[in-house]
Structure 1
Amino acid sequence: MIKKLRVFLALGLVVASSLVLVPLQILSMKTGLWPETVILKIWHGMILRALGMRVHIKGALATERPLLVAANHISWTDIMVLGSFADVKFIARADLEGWPLIGMLSKLQRTVFIERERKRTSGDQASEIAGRMAKGDAMVLFAEGSTGDGNLALPFKSTLFGAASMAISEGAAQKVFIQPVAIAYTRLHGVPMGRRHRPIAAWIGDQDLMPHLKALLAEGSFDVEVHFGEPIPFAKGSNRKETARLMEAKVREMMQAALTDPLPSR
């Protein structure tokens, strides 16, 4: 009964906040009266509050531009986690565009949707991402190309770093900075999660959204950590595969540090 009540109240908070914030975000996008991420940060924060997620941050988003953020990916909630405090835009898989709430939120954040299986469109998509970075947007790339179970970062796909190469080859930038970022879900109800419990927060593969959303809302208390590494310059002549392996190693190291020794819960 308590879990059902928690789900009901949480969904009510999400709906109520969306009814207020969506029109304000649309107004921001059309008029530029204030930065677009102002409303988005509030919105992401409200969704996290409904989910009972507390975010802990170590390090900071790099100030260098153009900037590509290379992060691991555990759940659809990763977008809210990063978007609640950082001025970033996202690169997401194409099917998310049609999802209720998540799709709308993504569009209002000017997310770049990519179809990884269609090679004919990959060049145009990489070019769009390169252009966005050249204009100053910090773009978040979930470099595994899929979601993991929260215990270990998956191998990074070097092809996904093509936007950095294209930004340079098209003359949009002489170099692109790539920053490793690790996301780790570390506590449940204030207690450190072990290997068996971390998948509770994870959204893996083709798992349906609504059952996962209800499960998260019913639990109602997670701690998630975001660790920022040092950015590295990617320039003409840089090797995408080597860069992908370096980012993967740094993200895996930071992720394991967070899981092994979580920051204190507040």
Structure 2
Amino acid sequence: MIAWIRIVIVLVLVVLWTLLLLPVQLTSNRFNWKLSWYLPRWWHRVAARLLGLRVITHGELDTHRPLLIAANHSSWKDVVVLSSVADVVFIAKSEVRDWPIFGWLARWQRTVFIERERRRQTGEQVTEVAKRLADGEIVVLFAEGTTSDGNRILDFKSSLFGAAASALDASPTGSVSIQPVAIAYTHANGVPLGRYGRPLAAWPGDTELSPHLLGVLKEGAFDVHVCFGEPVRYDSNSNRKKVTREIEQQVRKMHQEHLYGAGAAAK
């Protein structure tokens, strides 16, 4: 009973907080004010606290611009977590646009939606990402292309890094910084999640949203580590596949260190 009371209170507070900021964000989007870059971080910081997400950061966000963040992806909570620590926009598959709740929030945060099946639109979509990067926005790419179970890092897709190449011409330095970021969910209510408990924090495969969301709200509190790695400069001489593997290796190492310790990551 107490868990359900908590769920209702959290949902009501999230709705009220959203209704408070929504008119300002929509107006900022409409007139292209830079406030629309920063307002989502305020929303996500409060939402993270309400959802019980304790975010612990390691390292620093790169100050170089243009900046593309390449992160692993295991849950919708990754968006809340990253947005609570940096003013970012996301690249997402087009299906996200029509998801209940999260699709609406994604549009509110000015997400760039990619329709991978429609190759005729690929050029326009890449151009949009390049424009965002060139304007100084921090763009987040979930480089696995899907969600994992939170225990491992899937192979990064080099094709998704085309956005970095497309932004080179607009970069004043002739390069784009790609920063690896690892997101690791380690504890629930102070108890280590472990291999079999970690999918509770993740949202893998075809898991239905409603029961998963209720499970997260019932749990009450998660510790999540956000690890900023060493940025890689991408320029006209860079090999995209080589850069992809370098970024992937950094993310994999940081992720494993926070799940299992430095010794396990070194194996």
SS in 2 for 1:73: coil
Asked if structure 1 preserves the Cα contact closer than 8 Å seen for 2:149 and 2:204, the reply is yes
Look up the match of 1:18.
18
What CA RMSD, in Å, does the superposition of the two structures yield over aligned residues?
Answer: 1.6
Q: Distance in 1 between matches of 2:175 and 2:100?
A: 37
User: Do the aligned partners of residues 179 and 33 (structure 1) sit closer, same or farther apart at CA in structure 2, a change above 3 Å counting?
Assistant: closer
Look up the match of 1:101.
101
Look up the match of 1:184.
184
Asked if structure 2 preserves the Cα contact closer than 8 Å seen for 1:50 and 1:217, the reply is no
Asked if structure 1 preserves the Cα contact closer than 8 Å seen for 2:232 and 2:243, the reply is no
Check if 1:161 corresponds to 2:161: yes
Q: Distance in 1 between matches of 2:40 and 2:261?
A: 31
Asked if structure 1 preserves the Cα contact closer than 8 Å seen for 2:40 and 2:87, the reply is no
Residue 121 of structure 1, CA deviation: 2.0
Q: Distance in 1 between matches of 2:205 and 2:197?
A: 17
Q: Distance in 2 between matches of 1:120 and 1:198?
A: 39
Look up the match of 2:5.
5
Q: Distance in 1 between matches of 2:83 and 2:21?
A: 15
Check if 1:241 corresponds to 2:241: yes
Q: When the two structures are superposed, what TM-score results if normalisation uses the length of structure 2? A: 0.92
Report matched runs for 1:1-150 at 5 Å.
Answer: 1-31=1-31, 35-150=35-150
Q: Distance in 2 between matches of 1:155 and 1:162?
A: 16
Look up the match of 1:172.
170
Look up the match of 1:223.
223
Q: Which runs of 5+ in 2 are unaligned?
A: 263-267
Q: Which runs of 5+ in 1 are unaligned?
A: none
Asked if structure 2 preserves the Cα contact closer than 8 Å seen for 1:144 and 1:154, the reply is yes
Residue 32 of structure 1, CA deviation: 6.2
Residue 25 of structure 1, CA deviation: 1.4
SS in 1 for 2:9: helix
Look up the match of 1:197.
197
SS in 2 for 1:47: helix
Asked if structure 2 preserves the Cα contact closer than 8 Å seen for 1:183 and 1:255, the reply is yes
State the aligned residue count. Answer: 260
Q: Distance in 1 between matches of 2:117 and 2:140?
A: 20
SS in 1 for 2:180: strand
Question: What percent identity do the matched residue pairs reach?
Answer: 51
